[in-house]
Amino acid sequence: MRNLFSIAAILGLLITGCGFPGVFDGSDDKDILESNSSPSTTLLSVAITGGFAGVQQLLAVDETGRIVFTNDFFPGATWTRQMTEQELDNFDELMRDNNFFSLASEYIDSQVADAFLYAISYSSKTVRTDNFAAPQNLRNIIAGILQLINATHFSGLELTLALSADEIRSGGCVDMTLNVTNAGQDAFTLHFNDGQIFDFLALTVQGEKDPVLVWNWAHDKAFTAALWDLTLQPGDSRSYQVTWDGTNNAGDAMTGEFIMRAELVSTPGGSPKQKTLTIRE
């Protein structure tokens, strides 16, 4: 039996003002206790690139069945979902029934331009293919992967991030609001492993290098160690807001350009498209 991946989930404080978070969701306060999560090994990773529009998508599934999907058309956004034991078993059966481990390492038609390219890594094997040269059994596997993506990406969970300003002076504050909406036609339930519901993050932009985390709301918080669920009916929304005073996790004042992100750390969950903020002297 695979262990479920520990996912953080956030409790907000009902306080507003510079440097203090505020949450407007109508939920009851929860006791605050320490919680921990542990990393898991990647079971499946899929990179999808190419096409006329220059698609760049990444799908990762860890050994516990936690799915993370990203799409470069939505910078900073992620979609997450937890596979059931049955889904994990079904996917493993799909790979074995279609002889994934007997496939060649590459199926590429060099005469075709603008094809979708798939790099599929499962356990210890990687296969690269396009959507023309793949044999039928590999096409069956790709179809199963696309079903995983669709179930994760188009679950009806809609996340947006709003900032009260896109530029502030050093010593000023910015309000960050994560809006969570059930945009689907059916109710769905968000599963939380502890009292954490959300996080907000600020990252520095350093040229071509990956952004570096300098602040996140949850870094000095502790949360209830209890499982709980939140069910959203079609059209239901929740909003979670915090205020950042422009200091890093060490309390030092920051200036420059920052990438601002939010995360709903439930299952399903994810992050909305990121925003940018400038802090001037």
Domain ranges for the chain, please list them.
22-39+156-280, 42-153
Name which residue leads in pLDDT, 253 or 1.
253
- The Cα 13–Cα 20 span in angstroms is 8
Beta bridge partners of 243: 175
**What are the angstrom distances between the C-alpha of 193 and each of 3, 7, 225, 256, 267?**
13, 6, 7, 35, 9
pLDDT category at 8 given cuts 50, 70, 90 is: very low
Helix (H, G, I), strand (E, B) or coil at 197: coil
- The Cα 139–Cα 120 span in angstroms is 12
Give, rounded to a whole angstrom, the gap between the first and last alpha carbons of the chain.
55
> How many percent of the chain have pLDDT more than 70?
85
The yes or no reply on domain 22-39+156-280 and CATH 2.60.40.2360 is: yes
Mean pLDDT of all residues in 263-271: 91
Cβ–Cβ under 8 Å, residues 12 and 242: yes
pLDDT tens, position by position, 32-51: 223 333 457 999 999 999 87
> What are the φ and ψ backbone dihedral angles of 181, each rounded to 5 degrees?
-135, 140
Q: Is the pLDDT of residue 144 over 90?
A: yes
DSSP letter (8 states) at residue 247: B
pLDDT tens, position by position, 80-92: 999 999 999 999 9
- pTM beyond 0.75, yes or no: no
Cβ–Cβ under 8 Å, residues 223 and 35: yes
* Topology adopted by domain 42-153: Mago nashi protein (3.30.1560)
What is the per-residue pLDDT for 34?
32
Cβ–Cβ under 8 Å, residues 135 and 141: no
